[in-house]
Amino acid sequence: MTDRRATVGVSLKMYFGHAQTLAWCAEVARVAREHDGVDVFVIPDFVSIVDAVRVFDGSGVTVGAQALSWDDAGALTGEVSGSVLAEVGVGVVEVGHAERRRIFGETEAIVASKTAAALRNGLAPVLCIGEITEGPADAAADECLRQLEDALNGAPAGKVIVAYEPVWAIGAAQPAPTSHIRAVSARLRAAVADWTDRDGSVVIYGGSAGPGLLTELGDDVDGVFLGRFAHDPAALAAVLQEATR
């Protein structure tokens, strides 16, 4: 990494109970205070968001949400709007994760509408993109750039956290090969560098990311997006230590 600040994010998905989530957040808040040179965001389940905002107060950690509605209000049973998320202190929101696309049928059009909803409510979308099957890095980068363009077409200005997550690497024993991640992420970062209305946007890697990976990826990424490997706060502390270097 160079002298720019790294970004490290964690999504807890639906693994923890409420009390377990808050205990984890308290420990992560302590760890984050010891690594204040890194931009950290944590995405708990919806029920835990308000309490997580309280626990992380003063730690520098941004609390996120795992999804949002494409609309800001209305008869949408079970949905949560970006306006409400912003009201309670959320700063980032996951959009387009492979599980949302595969399990819940979120199409490219839905991803685009949710990306726009996040940005118009002042939330930074953690925009998840990635190729479905393993293949050459050039082809993967082409597909990711297409997904990125589709998701941001007509969207309001604002910071975007581009999360490159090759679908074939999510939940795998190992992340994608370092050379593959670097090649795809470098092209994504080049595209992000050309944006004129999205100051602060970054490219991070997810997909079985864990301790040790960030050091290997060097300047081709701006950080990592962690899942199960961050369930142990000590592992997250190790990643934050890498990021401060």
- Burial bucket for residue 7 (CB in 10 Å: 0-12, 13-18, 19+): buried
**57: its two tokens:** 């107060």
Q: Phi and psi dihedrals of 186, rounded to 5?
A: -60, -40
Q: Give the active site residue among 97, 143, 180, 242.
A: 97
**For residue 61, how many other CB atoms are within 10 A of its CB?**
25
- Distance linking the first and last C-alpha atoms of the chain: 7
Taking a C-beta distance cutoff of 8 angstroms, is the pair 243, 1 a contact? yes
Q: Establish whether 79 is a catalytic residue.
A: no
Q: Establish whether 231 is a catalytic residue.
A: no
Q: Give the active site residue among 94, 131, 143, 165.
A: 165
**For residue 39, how many other CB atoms are within 10 A of its CB?**
20
Distance, in Å, from the CA atom of 144 to the CA atom of 165, rounded to the nearest integer, reads 9
Give the active site residues.
97, 165
